[in-house]
């Protein structure tokens, strides 16, 4: 994974309900909201890659 100093900021607009859910999930998992988003996206990315390979 790249260093934080090499990553570019990326603003995301999302519905307030989704933001509240993400905030609660991050707190439950002892992560920042940013880290929770990255975790969820990486998990989904891996699932999709696995599904693509199994076709």
pLDDT at 1: 66
| 25 assigned to some structural domain | yes
Q: How far apart are CA 41 and CA 25, in angstroms?
A: 14
pLDDT at 5: 79
Range of the domain at 35: 15-53
| 1 assigned to some structural domain | no
Question: What is this structure's pTM?
Answer: 0.81
pLDDT at 10: 85
Residue 33 Cα distances to 6, 16, 19, 41, 55, angstroms: 19, 14, 9, 12, 33
pLDDT in tens, 22-44: 999 999 999 999 999 999 999 99
User: Do the beta carbons of residue 28 and residue 22 sit within 8 Å?
Assistant: no
If one counts the domains in the chain, the total is 1
């Amino acid at each position: 994974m790249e260093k934080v100093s090499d990553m570019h900021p990326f603003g995301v607009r999302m519905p307030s309900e989704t933001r509240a859910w993400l905030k609660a999930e991050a707190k439950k998992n002892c992560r920042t909201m940013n880290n929770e988003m990255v975790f969820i996206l990486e998990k989904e990315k891996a699932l999709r890659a696995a599904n693509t390979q199994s076709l």
